[in-house]
Structure 1
Amino acid sequence: MMISAIVLAAGRSTRMGMQKMLMPWGNTTVLESVVQTLQNSGIEDIIIVTNLEISKSIFNYQSFNSAQDKLPITINNNGEMLASIQAGLRAQNPSAEAALICLGDQPQMEEGSVRSVCEAYSKGKSNLIAPSYQMRRGHPWLAAKPLWDEILAMTEGQTMRGFLNRHADEIEYVPLDTPTILQDLDTPDDYLKYKPPL
């Protein structure tokens, strides 16, 4: 069973006021922290979907350079989530059976959350898996290959929220006891609130 991760990192960071994917996070960056968590969780196939500006900067980070052959970068200058997910699906390894949809601005993501979602999929009960905290759906969530054509056929104006709502009866929720599945970094206040201590 091969699960591939799509890391959504093409946003313009308008509310942050600077490129949040490359902001410091502990001894690394926001985006690299997400990638490290995925790797530590056993995900070997990782696709970063980002814009041209960030892609150029990534190559300047030594910590990313050593893993470039394992981290394909797909460019999506549109910046919208649907377009990024579609770009990631088009870049998938043919052997991939499911895609784990991850936020590039969610460095708080925990290895346990990733493993729990993947383990739920491995039991074969559903093609759509999502973590939940106190009845709220979070990230990363997983879509198996039978759903990809529908996502790829979606057009501008449609949203992934709408897709998930259409398939609400098919979602297998994985209850987790951590609010980190709901937390991402949109504003400077978010960054200050969640960033790890030095």
Structure 2
Amino acid sequence: MMTTKSIIGAVVLAAGMSRRMGQPKQLLPWGKTTVIGQVVNVLQAAQVAQIVVVTGKSREQVEQTLKNTSAQCVFNPRYETSEMLTSLKVGISRLHDEVQAVLVVLGDQPQIQVSVVQGLIEQYRLGKGVLIVPSYQMRRGHPWLVDRSLWQEILQMDDERESMRNFLNHHAQDIVYYLVDTPSILTDMDTPEDYQQMRPVDERDNE
């Protein structure tokens, strides 16, 4: 039986400009879907209760891509000038009252594994901590999980001077590291070269 504490949401940060990629990286093909579609598929497979995708320049295309999923798309009107912290605030503000913890997920990390997401959620449900971050070979990555008790602090942070890294550094003593055996938590996709290297092997072989 699920408890209130078990209800987990996710904010997917997908409002970036994709300047180095040269095209909207969220919409690049990935298997039978797109990069952002795969991210949402992983979260759905991990049974995340509410998925909020924060969009920017490509909002209409992303919304179209995700129309048959459980994800809710919200728009960050400051996408051109703001950093990820702003999008995180936009996303958190849309989470339902019953959601007690949020996964902070990158929209350009389609290689994240269901097992990692499930592991983070399990650690939270076991009461391990209020801030749970995956770690591979002593390096922290994404997604990470934050209890509702810390959301107000995030919402009050100065977008112009602070970042999500500042938040993590400020709460260094609160972080519970969840050790994983995959480097997938570390890599995101910024350039065409990144995309080619990260694509599923069968897709690369078919070119």
Q: Equivalent of 1:112, from 96, 111, 115? A: 115
Deviation at 1:191, TM superposition (A): 0.3
Deviation at 1:136, TM superposition (A): 0.3
Partner of 2:67: 65
Distance 2:38 2:122 in 1: 22
Partner of 1:176: 180
Aligned identity (percent) is 45
Distance 2:177 2:196 in 1: 30
Deviation at 1:186, TM superposition (A): 0.6
Distance 2:170 2:48 in 1: 28
Distance 2:63 2:38 in 1: 16
* SS, match of residue 64 in structure 2: coil
Residue 121 (str. 1) matches residue 124 (str. 2): yes
* SS, match of residue 177 in structure 2: strand
Paired residue type of 2:104: I
Distance 2:172 2:196 in 1: 34
The structure 1 segments of at least 4 consecutive aligned residues displaced by more than 3 Å after TM superposition are none
Partner of 1:75: 75
Q: Equivalent of 2:41, from 36, 41, 56? A: 36
Listed one character per residue, the Cα deviations across residues 29-73 of structure 1 (whole Å, up to 9, x for unaligned) are 00000000110111131000011x322113433xx3223xx3211
Query: Where do 5+ consecutive residues of structure 2 fail to align?
Result: 1-5
Residue 88 (str. 1) matches residue 81 (str. 2): no
Paired residue type of 2:163: T
Deviation at 1:77, TM superposition (A): 3.2
* SS, match of residue 189 in structure 1: helix
Residue 166 (str. 1) matches residue 166 (str. 2): no
Q: How many residues align structurally?
A: 193
Q: CA RMSD in A?
A: 1.1
* SS, match of residue 169 in structure 2: helix
Paired residue type of 1:178: T
Paired residue type of 2:162: Q
Paired residue type of 1:157: R
Distance change >3 Å, CA 60–CA 163, structure 1 → 2? closer
Partner of 1:26: 31
Deviation at 1:146, TM superposition (A): 0.4
TM-score by length of 1: 0.94
Distance change >3 Å, CA 60–CA 151, structure 1 → 2? closer
Deviation at 1:123, TM superposition (A): 1.1
Paired residue type of 1:158: E
Listed one character per residue, the Cα deviations across residues 115-154 of structure 1 (whole Å, up to 9, x for unaligned) are 1111111111311000000000000101100000100000
Distance 1:129 1:59 in 2: 29
TM-score by length of 2: 0.90
